[in-house]
Structure 1
Amino acid sequence: MVRFSVLEQPLDPFPRYEEMRRSEPVFLDEESGLWHVFCYDDVQRVLSEHAAFSSRMGGSNPSETGQLFAASLVNTDPPRHRQLRSLVTQAFTPRSVEALGPRILAITDELLDPAVGTGSMDLIEDLAYPLPVIVIAELMGIPAEDRDRFKQWSDAIVAYTRPDAEPAGHGGAHQEMAEYFLGMIEQRRRRPGEDLISLLLAAEIDGQKLSVAELLGFCALLLVAGNETTTNLIGNAVLCFTEAPGTLARLVAEPELLPTAIEEVLRYRSPVQSMYRIAAVDTTLRDRQIPADAPLVAWIGSANRDAEHFPAADTFDVERSPNRHLAFGQGIHFCLGAPLARLEARIALEAVVSRLPGLAVAPEAQLERMDSTIVYGLKELPVCWQP
């Protein structure tokens, strides 16, 4: 075997992960030159040890190269990473996130109200996609008429399987996003507001403003991370809840279980299945020698099914505790937006569970995964209930 792929069974990659954990937990794909890492301890190490496994990526001018994320938090190492992260931490403190709760609830109700009496909807299109897009667009001060472009861009950007293989539309989405955000940045320079873009424009690190590349990186990261993770968390949760017998009835009877159930969704069907790193130095994983500058894929979706850390790992358990999943990453790159994603998911799922009795996946549904091995989510999720 010289190649690893989960594309044969994209909705159920987990048996393939298990096979790799057992047979080749640290695997070199000779065709692409990518190293793949599958076991929990190794994935945790790759995500945590930034001195050995760097987040850097190429590209110095995002507006020209399409490498929008090159100067963003997710692809920056210390000490610059620490400086950049400190700028946006204030926008995502527990208090500031909780303050968004009433608005998130209002948006959820606005989206659900038209559907409740009909008995059916596409949960992705009608709720899971628009909710986080509206929230992040409002935080960034983006006009409502531009929200649909957000989803098109972020879908195109997550739909690639490895750094050296970009599908059609990926570069175009980067370019369109760069041009759009350059225009928004220029607007905010002239007329600052209370939004995140204005906050970043005003911010300084050691007396210096952010570069244009860093501003673009922040905007792109907030857009993609701000909607893709939450959209797929909500959709994956409904799929998990409807699959596991008795789970929905239990959550209706014991709504206090919902936060624990959401953590189990994050483990069982992680919205982000993998993360890329570059070996910063010659290093070793298990008995394999990883040369400096080698690219690696840390398979979060596999780590979260590792039976050495999760008893009955292939069973969805709404009471699982402890649940030290890696769905939001680890170490300095732990997802800054995790509290917001959890809050949006909890509010949306509370409404779904309480307002849609007898919820089930529509019998005729043909479920398809998004075109990405990095992100795990459904293109559509037709559901029905008793109106």
Structure 2
Amino acid sequence: MARPIVIAGGGIGGLTAALALARRGIRTTLIEDSPVLSEVGAGIQVTPNAYAVLDSLGLGSVLAAYATVPEAVRLVAAETGRTLATVPLGATVRERFGFPYFVVHRADLISVLASAAEAETKIELRLGNPLIDAHIKDGGVFVETLHAPIEAAALIGADGIWSKVRTRVLRGAHAEYSGRIAFRATIPLEHAADWMRRETGAWLGSNAHLVHYPIAGGRLLNLIAVAQTERSAEDSIAPTPGEEVIRRFADFADPAASLIRAADVWTGWPLATVPATAWTEGPVALLGDAAHAMVPFMAQGAAMAIEDAAVLAAKMATIPDAPAAFAAYAAERRHRVRAVARASRSTGQIYHLTGLSKIARDTVLAATPPGRLLARLDWIYGWRPPA
């Protein structure tokens, strides 16, 4: 019996990779720490480049049932509540890129991916079976798991920012703390102003910003409040009392302030990154956050994992030797991922400007035509998966 290709990690990237490989006739065994396929967190923005991959896997119409399509992104001065600029989304994005921009609950996206994987005969799911260790052996990979070892032809690490495959197998870089924390919460949509029910909002403050958008079929408003913090990258994701977030965002004007007050408990996520350096070694490859975790200020972390999955599957389908396929995959992806990571860092810096720099930013945003703001995203949203 041929040795399987093992995917470590049953999140968005790992499930998408398994499905992309299956659609090209390649069998995989997916191992996941958790006994159920689920996702921590609330909302996620699915941009046209990511949707193009999901649609190519036959999941577009299924996801549409869970999606909310914002009409625009509204950029607001946090301390005054003044609208600085509006970037059109909705029909404008679909017409420009051929695919939609939508927001969805992470649990719904994982549910769609998991159902597709469970129905796919070329995917074997081994849940509640974490990777213990692995090492390259006899042209393949010896994968030690909780329940039984696996003699694999290749190993794909889709196991997130704290990847065991990266640190134990490839001896790669450790995550680097960004100096920022994202507080996440959801509140009933009844707390939202009318425009918030139809648009994504980004409130730009001094060393802080707030993003919100509707999810769960318009029943909830997803909140992400980002600020500087003294926490370390090793701090775990943890509940945070509403009072702490209210204190950190005390200078935000209404209605943003009222949204923050409406959430009793937040979850604090220290934001860390992984340098996009060594992604592969022989028959071992990384994808998504395991390879190149980035700050989330372009909403492209999951999208890059989804793109990775599509390119990796295409290379493995056309190059029979796994090490060569993995090397070709990394060579194709590295430049784009680094460019998106730079853009994400830059956006975060722009969002958090203070003093005269903030005044200049607000002036430029107010004077820039909406269509030009959207056009700046062409190079990201216009990407398409291999045929």
Q: TM-score, normalised by structure 1?
A: 0.29
TM-score, L = length of structure 2: 0.29
Relative to its length, the structure with more helix (as a share) is 1
> Larger RCO: Structure 1 or Structure 2 (Cα < 8 Å, ≥ 6 residues apart)?
1
